[in-house]
Amino acid sequence: MRILVVEDDEILLKNISIILKRASYAVDTAKDVDEASNKLASMEYDLVLMDWKLPDGNGIDLCKETRKNNPEVKIIMLTANSQVEDKIEGLDAGADDYITKPFEMDELLARIRSALRRSGLSTLKMIIIDDLQIDTALRIVKRGGKEIALSTKEYALLEYLALNEGMAVSRVDLLSHVWDENANIFSNTVDVHIRYLRNKIDKGRITKLIRTIKGKGYAIARVD
């Protein structure tokens, strides 16, 4: 899943980015309204973490603009305001949730998981496809009962394919949701990571779950 973090506090922005990347999310960042608006207009995001107060405007206006132009994206406001009226203003502007600063990173991750579940992007704690098990909360992958060690990117790629089980997912779609803005769209990074996944998930097994759909991309599907 791809997240945009809009925050002008450089230390907090860096810390949030590190935690989210460790949790296998693709992360882009913006430090003000203008930068955030440009990225939201040109790239696709599953969720936006948005600071309430920004150097060139406020999160409320950005939230309204984002909700108008991207009705499906989930929005969580980051705010130092603890007044009920302020929180109501954020929710009325289109935010799905809010978290008050200072906050624990575990709480932030829990709120992100909750927002994504409500969007239908991640509805199951456990995804089971044939003998493959993916614990989306703990990010533990097993096949045939044996745990498989994956890198954060490999896990993110596998989870996204699994959430779209049985559907062909294009390379462009994978780059949009699993990689961040630094990905080279002309490289073969998707194919390389698919190869890594196959070596860990399918190699040596009679049943292959990760499939190439000619002309369309990749898919993961259970045995018929």
- CATH top-level class of 2-119: alpha beta
Q: Are 154 and 194 in contact (CB under 8 A)?
A: no
The domains of the chain are located at: 2-119, 126-220
Quickly count: other Cβ atoms within 10 Å of residue 32's Cβ: 16
Residue 218: what are its φ and ψ, rounded to 5°?
-130, 160
CA 73 remoteness from chain centre: 11
- CATH top-level class of 126-220: mainly alpha
Q: Are 9 and 102 in contact (CB under 8 A)?
A: no
In the numeric block, which tokens belong to residue 22?
A: 């460790």
Which pTM does this prediction carry? Answer: 0.76
Residue by residue, pLDDT tens for the chain (224 residues) are 899 999 999 999 999 999 999 888 999 999 999 999 999 998 889 999 999 889 998 888 999 999 988 888 999 998 887 666 667 777 888 888 988 888 899 999 989 988 887 655 555 678 899 999 999 878 899 999 999 999 999 999 999 999 888 899 999 889 988 998 888 777 889 999 999 999 999 999 989 999 999 889 999 987 65
